[in-house]
Structure 1
Amino acid sequence: MNVTVFAAREQDRPQAAALAKRLDAELTVNEAEALQAPLALRIGEEGLSLVGDGMVLRADFVSMLPRLRPGKLQGEMLVRAAKLKGAPSPKAFDATAGFGEDSLLFAAAGFDVTLYENDPVIAALLQDALERAKTHPELASIVKRMHFHEGDSIGALKRMAEADSADEMPDIVYLDPMFPARSKSAAVKKKFQLLHHLERPCSNQEEILEAALSVHPRKVIVKRPIKGPHLADRKPSYSLAGKAVRYDCIVPPPQTD
């Protein structure tokens, strides 16, 4: 999908030019022209935004602050699914980072998180959110534990498995493969429609699950639609379910020497 990059302010034009070059995207200084494109990346005072289909999407961690408060965070279903015993310095590997909200929950819960996002446009939006969060008084200490990489997480997991370094292995591998929107909310459907211009539903389910298991985590957590099938038809050890999604938790058997 072709993306057009434009700057809302003259002072943002150098950043827009650099981003367009990195993405091999069209650059314009005409906002009206940019908004006629199927997708546009807008750089402005509020950061980097994705514009298309009558919607504006922006990765933003500030809106998640209420969920990070004491008494709220531990009630998050993902945090409950990620609970481990005997892990004073837990590590998580988010193989499908998206806008990074779930990784933020991991980091707020004390995990050191490695994030991978393969789509360059989504990666740019996530990187922008991380940079803005570094200067926020309530988020800076949390995002310090988030280490972002643009690229293929399957390859990264395979390289990690080959290196077989105990210090690098994550305690948890988290998978949130793209799936078709099932919500009846028009806004949610539009959001997924916009993201589906960039990323298609996961077609390599077996490969990504096997890559996750290859690093011998204590747990693989897979986010699924509440009534969706198991990833790669792999029955989980147990699941935590909410109204719209569930977390399938796969607990591999302990390694033997």
Structure 2
Amino acid sequence: MSDDNKESNCFNDGLLHITVLVISLFSLGLGVIDLRLTDSFTLVIMPYIPALFLSAFIFLSGKIYWIGNRQSKISSKIILLLIYPLVVKLALASGENIDLLLNVGPALLFKELGSMGTIIIGLPIALLLGFKRESIGMTSSICREPQLAILTDKYSFDSDEVRGFFIVYLISTVLGTLFISLLTNVLAFLIPLHPYSYALASGIGSTSMSVAAVSSLSAIYPALTDELLAFNAISNLISIVFSIYVYIFISLPLTEKLYNRFEHYFN
């Protein structure tokens, strides 16, 4: 049997799909886990985090004999199929909420330009560490789902750019929530801005990190919990929608241009 036939048969691999189903049901059964580490610091673990680690453990351990390199390759193709509904959802959401972008104040819109820091600071560091095209996916954004959809559509799921994206995506899934929770706590104590300002600022376009940040704020200002959640939610929605346009027209082209301009200096 040819390799192509073997790979196509993996679409009918019942054990693979059952394994994925069990992992998904287990992770969804755990739900959102709130770990209150201190009175003012809550670590929020979303269901996909245990799913990621459990899947990686099963593959790397080799204990499950029916999960191997062949299943890994075909799973990447299945993921590609599953990403396109996300692309459609994001397109509909961005179009549906275009009036929202036109009506909000400039501060909420310009805060999205803060993502330029990932390019200006991150790209030189990635090149110094020896990354090539992966650095485009790693540093052109905060590496969340909207950017994944755009990268996959432009470069394909098997590209170096998407591999670089997932390096940051997986690390920030765990460390990002810790970092933004700690940062929110520290800034709230050191810089006496209104809690609403921090709630708006923490809506960065990542649900898990935004929830982690606003949970820390709610622990500090329990009387304002409902208002903080509301401001954070609308800010996060605006960031998700506006980040799509910023990423397509500014961030990704700028990262690619800077990479082509400076990459040869780091060889």
TM-score of the pair, normalised by structure 2:
0.30
| Greater relative contact order, per chain length (Cα 8 Å cut-off, separation 6+) | 2
Q: Larger strand proportion, structure 1 or 2?
A: 1
Please identify which structure carries the higher helix content. Answer: 2
